[in-house]
Amino acid sequence: MARDTRLIEMLSPVVESMGFVFWGLELSQGHQLLLRVYIDHENGITVDNCADVSRQLSSVLDVEDPIAQDYTLEVSSPGMDRPLFELSHYQQSLGEIIELRLRMPFDGRRKFKGRLQGIEDQDIVLLVDNDEYLLPIELIEKAHIVPNFDK
């Protein structure tokens, strides 16, 4: 089982038992490994919410010890430029401008920015400069909404 999947299965129930939506997580390597967990709530997220969830997740992570190396845990709101992890996130973001990076080139490129037009099976439909791309979700390495401050 992939480490991300194991972490999601371990941490998601903790977040949800506290009344929040588990939006997703990212593991990134810089000077030190960073585990960033995104939480959401219909009334928004406060710094205190993040601190409370962080304490609970830290306790679980200390007991389960799923990451062998040193890491930093960060709990955050998805924000206006929210990352997109699951097909349901894309469904909720129809009509939005998104940026994404693919794991491998598609049509000679890995980076795309365009309007999210729709979902077809496990693919997203992205309109980029009047061209429609059908991109398989499993090829997407990273994606996020581009905030629109004109709304």
Q: Which of 52, 76, 100 is the last residue of a domain?
A: 76
Give bridge partners of residue 118 from the DSSP assignment: 125
Instruction: State whether 93 and 66 are in the same domain.
Output: no
Contact 107, 55 (CB under 8 A): no
The H or E element containing residue 116 is strand 109-120
Instruction: State whether 101 and 71 are in the same domain.
Output: no
In a domain, 150, yes or no: no
Q: What percent of the chain has pLDDT over 70?
A: 97
Instruction: State whether 99 and 71 are in the same domain.
Output: no
In a domain, 20, yes or no: yes
pLDDT at 106 over 90: no
Domain that holds residue 113: 87-145
Domains held by the chain: number: 2
Average pLDDT, the chain: 92
- Specify the pTM: 0.86
Instruction: State whether 70 and 130 are in the same domain.
Output: no
In a domain, 151, yes or no: no
pLDDT in the model for residue 3: 62
In a domain, 128, yes or no: yes
**How many CA atoms does the CB half-sphere of 12 hold within 13 Å?**
10
Instruction: State whether 92 and 113 are in the same domain.
Output: yes
